[in-house]
Structure 1
């Protein structure tokens, strides 16, 4: 099943035009997902988002109430990254701490940076692998998916917190380098999903491989800018297989992204060491196409998850 899904993704993107997850990518994913939410679900979503302390900030630029709901949904997709900044004064906690996997709502003042990924560990040269982390994006998404329905018994505070995190994490798990940790003789402590390797794209600067993929769909952008970008050679018009869109198991997403990372993110000229390599046109074209397809798939799956939970 996973091989079939991956083949479908690759067939779609490699035959299409070249056009991620910084703010621009997460906001585009949220916008496209919102377009596919059922009307009653949009109202339920907005009621939950209003419990987030940033709701007024998210909607400040909206010209009318309906647009305010859209802007809140789009901007909420960046909140899990926003709380890493000094302005929020959230604690940078560790995956080994007792509270690493808690799900307690907005009373939680931890950044939980390890919730943003699940590293499937692998080595191309037989290097030893460590034990995987006990808490990651998959463990937490499963908790959140179970808690989101109103019949779950979770408080609205927890359900709001979980919804905001879900808007972000579904996108994260479709970024291929959020699903892999590569260990080589040159990088024996692991590359943290491409953060140890450097690449030189056509723009000429040296950048971490992970950041190169993160930025493909854009950096800082307003909700209105994300809507424009998505509708103009962004991800809004990318066709997603209905069968692929119905796969709502985070573990399956990780395995798909892991395979994409091995095949494309680590493709030549990327080597097994940390030294910066000059990317080829073929590599950059494939990366843009894969990123757009993965983001469109994330949007479709996010909409299906939320519709099912709040119908």
Structure 2
């Protein structure tokens, strides 16, 4: 376990959609619930009032009230596992679950272990159970709620489910965190993983988050992305991971290594790749938001969860 934690810490801070990305996902879920199931938002907010790490939530809610307060609490909940890094609440191995990608054109000398690295799937299953367990304390359920919201977003990022093995990366590229590219926006070197994490939204400003969520819902409505499909349930999580892994194979890693081995050797991303990556990321975050709303419907459909809060 110590080795796994050290491996996960080596990925930091590139372990998730960036905090603004998680906030966008939560805002989409909020809007989806507000349209049809506003009572569920009330139950979620009531449970979050019991979260043991009160500081980040008090900062997030500021002096807001009512629906504005509930939205801010949900956005903080989705990003809280990142805000809790290096605290007693940190679980660095929970953010990803990685399978190897090996291209026939450039295999490593030694076949990689095809087992899953990290605990993302088991972490989601554990927290989904605790969140829905009336025997758990409200504080335990509140923490698990945040992990469910966070991991439901993370699993939709292709480089949270895969890492490339090649002649240049015989031990894996750690989900792109060992490849350095030039950020097309800032023009600074960053990891390939961070490029993907940062590709949805970069500002934590509440107005900009809301605007981004509105934009994605307008261009990528639920009816377009999920028409004809059953509402999402917690048991769907492995399928979402398979979707992301498929995108890692077919696109993110399709051309092999794109970055250099260090910041000083960072490489320009091909323009078509950078543009398509943003398009994919937008679709994945919108899907994550709608599916997260369904997960909350599944867990909070009755007042049971809020009893004793």
Q: Give the TM bin, normalised by the shorter chain.
A: 0.7 to 0.9
Selected match of 2:282 from 284, 289, 292: 292
Q: CA deviation at 1:253?
A: 1.1
Instruction: Give the count of matched residue pairs.
Output: 267
- The answer to whether the 8 A contact 2:25-2:288 is kept is yes
Q: Which whole-Å CA distance do the structure 1 matches of 2:272 and 2:137 have between them?
A: 49
1:205 aligns with 2:188: yes
Q: Give 1:136-147 correspondences, 5 Å limit.
A: 136-147=119-130
Q: Which whole-Å CA distance do the structure 1 matches of 2:276 and 2:191 have between them?
A: 18
Alignment match, 1:28: 24
* TM-score for the superposition, normalised by structure 2: 0.79
Q: Which whole-Å CA distance do the structure 1 matches of 2:111 and 2:237 have between them?
A: 26
1:185-207 CA-partner distances (Å, limit 9, x unpaired): 21122111111112224343322
In structure 2, the gaps of 5 or more residues are: 1-15, 302-309
1:160 aligns with 2:147: no
1:33-67 CA-partner distances (Å, limit 9, x unpaired): 111221221111011111121332221052x3221
Q: Which whole-Å CA distance do the structure 2 matches of 1:210 and 1:142 have between them?
A: 25
1:71 aligns with 2:72: yes
Q: Which whole-Å CA distance do the structure 2 matches of 1:215 and 1:122 have between them?
A: 22
1:48 aligns with 2:47: yes
1:238-295 CA-partner distances (Å, limit 9, x unpaired): 1322327636421111111011112221244844873633222211111111000000
1:246 aligns with 2:232: yes
Alignment match, 1:57: 59
Q: Which whole-Å CA distance do the structure 1 matches of 2:150 and 2:267 have between them?
A: 30
- The answer to whether the 8 A contact 2:181-2:258 is kept is no
1:184 aligns with 2:166: yes
SS of aligned partner of 2:176 = coil
Q: Which whole-Å CA distance do the structure 2 matches of 1:245 and 1:267 have between them?
A: 31
- The answer to whether the 8 A contact 2:98-2:162 is kept is yes
Relative to structure 1, is the Cα distance of residues 21 and 176 closer, same or farther in structure 2, using a 3 angstrom cutoff?
Answer: same
* TM-score for the superposition, normalised by structure 1: 0.78
In structure 1, the gaps of 5 or more residues are: 1-19, 91-108
Q: Which whole-Å CA distance do the structure 2 matches of 1:205 and 1:272 have between them?
A: 13
Alignment match, 1:102: none
CA-atom RMSD, angstroms? Answer: 2.3
> Which has the larger displacement, 212-221 or 262-271?
262-271
Q: Which whole-Å CA distance do the structure 2 matches of 1:61 and 1:284 have between them?
A: 39
Q: Which whole-Å CA distance do the structure 1 matches of 2:271 and 2:48 have between them?
A: 42
Q: Give 1:110-149 correspondences, 5 Å limit.
A: 110-124=89-103, 125-126=107-108, 127-130=110-113, 132=115, 136-149=119-132
Relative to structure 1, is the Cα distance of residues 61 and 289 closer, same or farther in structure 2, using a 3 angstrom cutoff?
Answer: farther
Q: Which whole-Å CA distance do the structure 2 matches of 1:166 and 1:68 have between them?
A: 20
Q: Which whole-Å CA distance do the structure 2 matches of 1:135 and 1:215 have between them?
A: 21
Selected match of 1:230 from 199, 213, 217: 213
Q: List, as ranges, runs of 4+ consecutive aligned residues in structure 1 with deviation greater than 6 Å.
A: none
SS of aligned partner of 1:68 = helix
SS of aligned partner of 1:163 = helix
Selected match of 1:263 from 236, 250, 260: 250
Relative to structure 1, is the Cα distance of residues 303 and 133 closer, same or farther in structure 2, using a 3 angstrom cutoff?
Answer: same
